[in-house]
A and B are shown apart, each in its own frame.
Chain A
Amino acid sequence: MEKLEKSILKNIYFIVMLLFLILSLYRGSFEIVPFVYGTLSVILIAYGYFVIKKYYPRVDKYLYIISVFIVEFGLVMLYRLDFQRALKQLIWFAIGIMLFIFILILFPDIKRLQKYSMFFAIFNLVLLTMPLLLGREIKGSKNWIQVGSLSFQPSELAKIFMIFYLSDVIRKIKDYKDVLKYSIPIVLSIAIFVLEKDLGSALMFFGMFMAMLYVGTSRLRYILSGLVLFVLGGFFSYVVFDHVKRRINIWLNPWKDKYGAGYQICQSLIAIASGGLFGTGLAGGHPEVIPEVHTDFIFSAIAEEFGLLGAIALLILYLLLIYRMLRTALYAKEDYSRLVAVGIASMFAFQVFVIVGGVTKMIPLTGITLPFVSYGGSSMIINFLAIGILQKISEVGNEDA
């Protein structure tokens, strides 16, 4: 088993080095910088794996292996698009891995967090209202806090807090009244998201809530009534809020205004189409014409340069990662950890669905990050935090397997 793991890791290192080799050769002459960059990222991965293997032989290592493989997709693509951002992203990746190791070492057993669910709910709402008061609007969404030169997206951290809150209260649900009582923080945060024009996060919170509610109570009635409320709420916000209406209209027909409001999605579709089955090859396409290509539209850039097959490979990796998270939930010892694991798995699943669906025009586009791949510090750190928590759960769950 361990041998296989190591050889898979070696294959991953080989692919990463090959990709960076292509990047150092594509301008005609050999450049050393991409090579150094690739080596640094490989060393980071190897260091993280070494620490896990040495001190925590019982944890699920595939969570780590698959996530770092996905991260490498993002690093390669970012390097090819924008060197400055790629450099920052490598630093965030390093911080993410450090945080991941710290969680393994210092974090207490997840069960102990159970008592603080009210605290999580309140803190979650505080975090979400902060940008309304002191945030500023970046790219049409008012969901950023800026401290000095660092900007931070509180909704990323709020997701984790929400999961901790929900995992505790969902076990206590007995009838409809409980559902209504405990979903107050959720409804409030979704309302805040709509006000902040952050529709992607609103959709994700709703999806997470439904998934956890279903797993925790296994009653279809709650989910159906939730969906009815969702449809009503969606219709209401379409009528009342201008920005929601605009998003939906762009989605229905982006080509009508292809140089204005629909520009992003049109460019994204053109890029995906020009990739074809095998892609244009790394550094062979022109993904730089897509606006916001390093964050929201990075999936289009990958689809263009790695082709349909590469994009599907990335989705398969996400699928495997989520399967692995649900497996952690199956092996968890008690309901609280199990629900936390399910919550984190559904968080990743909905996030990937919302953004990949958005850039391929399957659902209306809403700007959220593609986990592990998109450029952005808060997203990278929170994703590694989530993986660390899952590792912690799997450590306890695997103990007498």
Chain B
Amino acid sequence: MILRFVVIALIYLVIFRIIKIMYMDLKGVRVKKLKEFALEVKGAPKDANLGSLYLIHKVMTIGRNPDNDIVIKDPYVSGNHARFYVKNDKLFVEDLNSTNGTFVNGKRISKVEKLQEGDIIEIGRVSFKVLE
């Protein structure tokens, strides 16, 4: 039975390959990068920030209060208006019970909504476009 040597050799081959990957992991090689999203400002009441980009890193909050990541000085925007976050390579937006609501492609969202590239988000009088 030559096969028994083949089987053992193959098992060790698999073990060796697994160890190799784990070694790469220890050395800190990260082949797969986190997916990143950005928001482009499409419409603003004063044309001030038009076209500027905001990179979304893990979590980003938006609102009128100065402790938010993106601060919009606009009376139509609530203090803590909405939150963007990335989970499992997908971008989500969550409305934080804002007074005037968060709109995705013209529709007001109730709580959490998954976003895709090209979606238009309106917050107060400002609108954003999702870029990947």
Contact = CB atoms under 8 A, between A and B. Distances in A.
B27 interface: no
Nearest to A283: B1
A281 B87 contact: no
B85 to A, nearest CB: 10
A12 B1 contact: no
A149 B5 CA distance: 41
A144 to B, nearest CB: 34
Given A11-B14, A278-B4, A279-B8, 20 more contacts: A1-B21, A2-B32, A11-B13, A12-B14, A15-B7, A18-B10, A22-B7, A57-B88, A57-B89, A62-B22, A278-B5, A281-B1, A282-B3, A282-B4, A306-B4, A309-B12, A317-B15, A320-B15, A395-B88, A401-B30
B29 to A, nearest CB: 9
A19 interface: yes
A310 interface: yes
A69 B14 contact: yes
Give the bracket for the number of chain B residues in contact with chain A. Answer: 20 to 34
Interface string A295-337: 0000000000011011001001100100110000000000000
Contacts of A15: 7, 10-11, 14
Given A2-B32, A18-B3, A57-B88, A8 B10 contact: no
Contacts of B30: 401
B13 to A, nearest CB: 7
Interface in A1-38: 1-2, 4-5, 7-8, 11-12, 14-15, 18-19, 22
A55 interface: yes
Contacts of A222: none
A276 B58 CA distance: 54
B4 A281 contact: yes
A279 B11 CA distance: 14
Interface residues of A, number: 41
A400 interface: yes
B7 A8 contact: no
Interface of B: 1, 3-8, 10-15, 17-19, 21-22, 30-32, 34, 58, 87-89
Given A282-B7, A306-B7, A8 B14 contact: yes
A4 B17 contact: yes
B18 A8 contact: yes
A56 interface: yes
A1 to B, nearest CB: 4
A7 B89 CA distance: 23
A1 B32 contact: yes
